[in-house]
Amino acid sequence: MSIRCEHAYRVHIASAIVDESIDAHPPGLDSRAAQRFRVYRNNVHGALIGALSDAYPVVRSLVGEEFFAAMAREFFLSETVRGPSLALYGAGFADFIERFEPAASVVYLADVARLERARLESLHAADAEVLDPSVLPGDGDQLVHARFTPHPASRLIASAHPVVSIWLSHQPDAATTNITAASEHVLVTRPGFEVRTLRLDEPAGAFTHALMQGATVQTAYSSASAEPEEFDVVAVFSSLLEAGVFKHAFIQKGDWQ
């Protein structure tokens, strides 16, 4: 074996692991050893594809096992940094899918991946009590000046596609439904240890987004830019409180005298 130093040895093995061409194997190995070397390559590829597969089950189900594995392989081969814990592996997968030409015909695929990523991040986010609605001022004139800090497990995604409806239709207990083209906002929360996925329409999504960015209720309401008959702010606001979107409420000096 002509290995001069340990570093060169590892460089060769690391490249042989990613390069699947049959000739790619560490130097000095006979063909029999090279054939055995594929155990490592299979383990590495299997572990990374498996981790993505666990994190993106609906994406996998939308494109099928084989396509998913090929797409996952292209993804991890494009990575330049990968940490030693796979618990939150696959952060850039949705953006990768968006640029991945062979998947371009499934226009909503990247947004479904964003939804699944939001759920994974929410699951593993820091624990915190959700906002207790009873601490809010009962007086509506005061409440409009309130601002909120989002709960660490809350995520909101705006999509031009009916991503929540698509995601719901791929859940194990889903009823068959017709999905109509519409933009949907995805709200993900984790008030206890269970992740919730909620669908918001355009005004409710814009309102929630503004609140999560720290706007007052009043400002958030105007950013929803909807007619009162299209947007029941009271109902939406209480559903947000119930879902546990927020951790704290506060009224900034100057917002209200």
Residue of 20, 65, 127, 129 that binds another protein (CB under 8 A): 127
Given the complex with another protein, which of 4 and 253 has the nearer CB atom?
Answer: 4
Question: What is the C-alpha to C-alpha distance for residues 149 and 29, in angstroms, rounded to an integer?
Answer: 59
Residue of 70, 86, 179, 215 that binds another protein (CB under 8 A): 86
Question: What is the C-alpha to C-alpha distance for residues 70 and 75, in angstroms, rounded to an integer?
Answer: 9
Q: Does 20 bind another protein (CB under 8 A)?
A: no
Q: Does 80 bind another protein (CB under 8 A)?
A: yes
User: What is the per-residue binding string for another protein in 180-209, x denoting contact by CB under 8 A?
Assistant: ----------x-xxx---------------
Q: Which two tokens stand for residue 56?
A: 């993106």
DSSP notation for 149-210: EEPTT-EEEEESS-HHHHHHHTSTTPPP-PPPP--EEEEEE-SSSS-EEEEE-HHHHHHHHH
Q: How far is the CB of 236 from another protein (least distance, A)?
A: 26
Q: Does 70 bind another protein (CB under 8 A)?
A: no
Given the complex with another protein, which of 84 and 138 has the nearer CB atom?
Answer: 84
Q: How far is the CB of 44 from another protein (least distance, A)?
A: 5
3-state secondary structure of 200: strand
Given the complex with another protein, which of 34 and 158 has the nearer CB atom?
Answer: 34
Question: What is the C-alpha to C-alpha distance for residues 70 and 63, in angstroms, rounded to an integer?
Answer: 11
DSSP class of 186: E
Q: How far is the CB of 13 from another protein (least distance, A)?
A: 6
**Which residues are within 8 A (CB) of 67 and not within 5 positions of it... i.e. 6 or more apart?**
102, 103
Binding range to another protein, per CB under 8 A, among 47-55, 104-112, 159-167, 176-184:
47-55
* CB-CB contact of 24 with 40 (8 Å): no
**Residues contacting another protein: total by CB under 8 A:** 47
**Tokens 């981790």 -> residue:** 51
Residue of 4, 7, 23, 66 that binds another protein (CB under 8 A): 7
Query: Rounded to whole angstroms, what are the CA distances from 24 to 15, 20, 34, 73, 156?
Result: 8, 7, 8, 17, 44
Q: Which two tokens stand for residue 59?
A: 């994406």
Q: How far is the CB of 27 from another protein (least distance, A)?
A: 11
User: What is the per-residue binding string for another protein in 223-252, x denoting contact by CB under 8 A?
Assistant: ------------------------------
Query: Rounded to whole angstroms, what are the CA distances from 202 to 115, 207, 219?
Result: 17, 9, 16
Give the binding site for another protein (CB under 8 A).
1, 3, 5-7, 9-11, 13-14, 17, 28-29, 32-33, 35-37, 39-40, 43-44, 47-48, 51, 79-88, 123-128, 152-153, 190, 192-194
